[in-house]
Amino acid sequence: MAFTIYALVDLFMTHAPRVRAFPKPLWIVVIVVLPIIGPLLWLRVGKAEPRIKRILGVSKAPDDDPKFLGSLDSESSDERIKRLEDELRKLDEDDPPATGDDDDQDPPPTRS
C-alpha cells in the first residue's frame, strides 16, 4: 500500500514533459489497478530521467576539473607578481617629467 502511495505521489510531482509511455491519467489507473507491478512500471518505464543529466553528464566545478586546470597558465604567482612589477616600473619610467609650464592652461576666472 505504501509503495503504491509513493508511486502516486511521485507521479503527481513529476512534470508532464518527463512522463513517458502513457499520459498521467492512464498511469494513475495502471498504478492503482496493478498494486505492485504498476508502481514498479511507473518508476522504471514511466518517468524519464532529467534532460540535463542525460546531455551533460555530471558537471564539475572548474577547480575540480583536471582539463581546466591543465589549460591554465603555468606561471607561478611569484613570477607573475615580478612580471607585473617590472611592467609597472617601465610605465613609470615612460612618463614624461612635469616641466612646470602652465601656459597651455586657461587662466583662472576673475571675479567682477
Q: Which tens digit of pLDDT belongs to each residue from 6-55?
A: 999 999 999 888 888 899 999 999 999 998 999 999 999 988 776 655 55
Q: Is residue 37 part of a domain?
A: yes
In a domain, 91, yes or no: no
Question: Is residue 109 a part of any domain in this protein?
Answer: no
If one counts every other C-beta atom within 10 angstroms of the C-beta of residue 4, the result is 16
> Is residue 48 in some structural domain?
yes
What is the pLDDT at residue 31?
93
Set of cell numbers at residue 10: 511521485
23 is a domain residue: yes
pLDDT at 37: 93
Indicate whether 46 belongs to any domain: yes
Task: Indicate the number of domains in the chain.
Answer: 1
Q: What does the alpha-carbon distance between residue 81 and residue 92 come to, in Å, rounded to a whole number?
A: 16
DSSP string, 42-100: IIIIIBPPPHHHHHH-S---GGG-HHHHHHS----HHHHHHHHHHHHHHHHHHSPPP--
Report if residue 10 sits inside a domain: yes
Domain that holds residue 46: 2-56
- pLDDT of the residue at 105: 65
Q: Which of 95, 93, 20, 21 is nearest to 54 (CA)?
A: 20
pLDDT tens for each residue of 83-102: 899 999 998 887 666 665 55
pLDDT tens digit sequence for 54-89: 555 566 777 777 777 776 766 677 888 898 999 999
Instruction: Please give the Cα distance from 72 to 70 (Å, whole number).
Output: 6
Q: Is residue 30 one of the residues assigned to a domain? A: yes
DSSP letter (8 states) at residue 19: B
